[in-house]
Structures are given as C-alpha cells and as structure tokens.
Amino acid sequence: MGIVRLVKNEQFSHEAKAILDSATKTIDICTYKFEISTRPDARDLNELIQILYGLAASDVRVRVLLNITGNRSGLSRLNENTGRTLKAHGIEVRYLPDNRCQHAKTLVADNCVALIGSHNWSPKSLTENYEISVVINDYVALDWLQAHFERIWDKAKKL
C-alpha cells in the first residue's frame, strides 16, 4: 500500500528539495507557472532551481512541461523566458500542446516519488499563497502519473 503525505504552504520547498536530492535518473516537472526571480522571497525557489541545474549537469535527465498560450499573455512570456533559461542549463523543456492547460502541478523523481498539487514554481506560491500538495509513494499512482506525463510530453511542442 502506498503512502500519501500532505504538504502545506511553505513546506513545499523542503519536500521538493528532498525529492530532487533523491533523484538518480529522472526528474519530470509539469507546472502552470515557473518563475525565475531575483525577489528576496525567491531564495527557496532559487535553491530548487540551482539543484535542477546541478542535476541536469550530471547524469539525471530533467524535463519540464510549461503552459504557453497563443495569446502571448504575461504568463506565456514568463514561461517562455524561464524555458529558455532552463534549456540553457541543459534542461529539456516543452510546452503543453494545443494551448491546453495542466493546472495540477507535478514533480516526479525516478518514478519512485511524486509531489503533486497546487504549488507553482513561483515565489508567491511558495511564500504567500495558501497551497496544498501531496507527496505520493504509491507505485500504482506513480505509474499512472508517469504515463500521463509521457503522453503529454510526446505531444508537447519543443522549445
């Protein structure tokens, strides 16, 4: 039987760091918003981003799916800029197909553990908003989640 653990508000950074630190083969992220920021409240987020860069520089495959809409909204421009920066650091980036939105945010490491919920990769989401996510260690759920990611990844647009 699997394990599910709640992650509230600012706990996300700690849980995400533990998951990233556990990865030896793959990291797959899908998020609505991914913001690289110099704001003072972005310290924890920037630490997670630096870990992603380090993983990508090692033998870990890091993939990120981002939302981009055809209307060139502020979110689309932000995610495009983030996508270019991530790609420059060796991270594979794709945009969700058909202007679709994946509002559930996911982080999966080695198909062994996942963090899924409402937390975006943004300073506000990690420090100000009321957010809730769950850590999942259930292999049936993880297999489904990984297959779901792969289906979207295969249809997604390359950066």
Name all contacts of 43-51 with Cβ < 8 Å and 24+ positions apart.
Answer: 44/10, 44/13, 44/126, 44/127, 45/13, 45/121, 45/122, 45/123, 45/126, 47/13, 47/17, 48/13, 48/16, 48/17, 48/20, 48/121, 49/121, 51/17, 51/20, 51/21
Per-residue pLDDT, averaged over 136-158, amounts to 93
The model carries a pTM of: 0.93
Q: Which structural domains are found in the chain, ordered by start?
A: 4-158 (3.30.870.10)
Reported as a single tens digit per residue, the pLDDT across 39-98 is 898 999 999 999 999 999 999 999 999 988 666 678 888 989 999 999 999 999 999 876
Reported as a single tens digit per residue, the pLDDT across 13-22 is 999 999 999 9
